[in-house]
Amino acid sequence: MEHRRLGASGLMVPALSFGAGTFGGRGPLFGAWGNTDAGEARRLVDICLDAGITMFDTADVYSGGASEEVLGAAIKGRRDQVILSTKTGLPMGDGPGDAGSSRSRLITACEDALRRLGTDHLDLFQLHAFDAGTPIEEVLSALDDLVRAGKVRYVGISNFSGWQAMKSLAIAERYGHPRYVAHQVYYSLVGRDYEWELMPLGLDQGLGALVWSPLGWGRLTGKVRRDRPLPTGSRLHRTAEYGPPVEDEHLYRVVDALDEIAQETGRAIPQIAINWLLRRPTVSSVIIGARNEEQLRQNLGAIGWTLTPDQLARLNEASARTAAYPYFPYERQEGFARLNPPVGDVAPV
């Protein structure tokens, strides 16, 4: 397993990490993702560790804390072999203090996560969303206290906009608080908005991307195709409204390109989609999930090989979208390009 630095930090993480959103299986959204119990979870963790996947990501909101509990049971006795990442900030209840990133909420959420996971520290503690109602100074001060207490090793964010991330980093630098080293983001062949602002920010500020939903909210499994109904077992029947939308024709154009490359390489469509992500700038780790051993082993086949430059170019072309303002229309103009060179080959076309 290839290992990479997490952003500008010294923490080395595997190129693939495991997302425990299928653990627990409570509620309309997470119940549709999966309902892996502790015994099944331990088997999946075994497979991950054998393959070199040592980083496991969860969140308090996943099945109301059940995901953390199941993951904690699955890693019991081998805490020193794993990197634990969890998130907080989304609503855990209807009370006034059950959501957000206030000092009280962060300290309570951290203590609850430590208890559920059965550990004395979190390797990475991430804010699941930006809290516009709490001063950033308060958020960073609370995270600083958790780091100094030894309960948290590194801090990160998830689903922040560019200005939210940059303002937070500037305030952290001003007051000497720990800087965010990771940004957990949605990024896939059918969702490349990350490239327009957040990727250049990540390069400039040392934020490593942890990619969630690399298969476009279950659309790039190879089972969703043109002129066919959704497969009976697809979770999109119950979860499509919760995830990032994708226009059908755009999806099918990407799937067509994936089909061609699958025939050339003998690889499955999900493996190709994940492998493409592993070649992208700023990506520290791609988070894969699995409801069972078969899915996990298939996703593990995304590593150990490389797409050719021609195949990468065809995937880039098929998945490209016109950038949102203010990134369009100026990026095509030569003078603008000299001022703002594209990040690798990610300039939208």
Give the β-pairing of 12-14 and 3-5.
antiparallel
Measured CA distances, 159 to 150, 259, 326 (Å): 26, 30, 20
User: Active-site residue 252, yes or no?
Assistant: no
Q: Provide the 3-class DSSP secondary structure of residue 107.
A: helix
- Pairwise CA distance, residues 232 & 178, whole Å: 47
- Buried-state track 219-234, b at ≥16 Cβ within 10 A, e below 16: bbbbbbeeeeeeeeeb
Asked if residues 91 and 61 have their Cβ atoms less than 8 Å apart, the reply is yes
- Pairwise CA distance, residues 112 & 110, whole Å: 5
- Pairwise CA distance, residues 187 & 185, whole Å: 6
- Pairwise CA distance, residues 170 & 167, whole Å: 5
| Residues in contact with 302: Cβ distance below 8 Å, sequence separation at least 6, in sequence order | 16, 270, 271, 272, 273, 274, 275, 278, 286, 288
Any bridge partners for residue 156, and if so which? Answer: 126, 182
Q: What are phi and psi of 146, to 5 degrees?
A: -70, -35
Asked if residues 32 and 235 have their Cβ atoms less than 8 Å apart, the reply is yes
| Bond from prior residue into 329 cis (ω within 30 degrees of 0) | yes
- Pairwise CA distance, residues 136 & 211, whole Å: 24
Determine which one of 62, 154, 187, 194 is catalytic. Answer: 62
* Token duo for residue 153: 């090793």
- Pairwise CA distance, residues 273 & 147, whole Å: 36
Give the β-pairing of 16-19 and 283-288.
parallel
Enzyme catalytic residues? 62
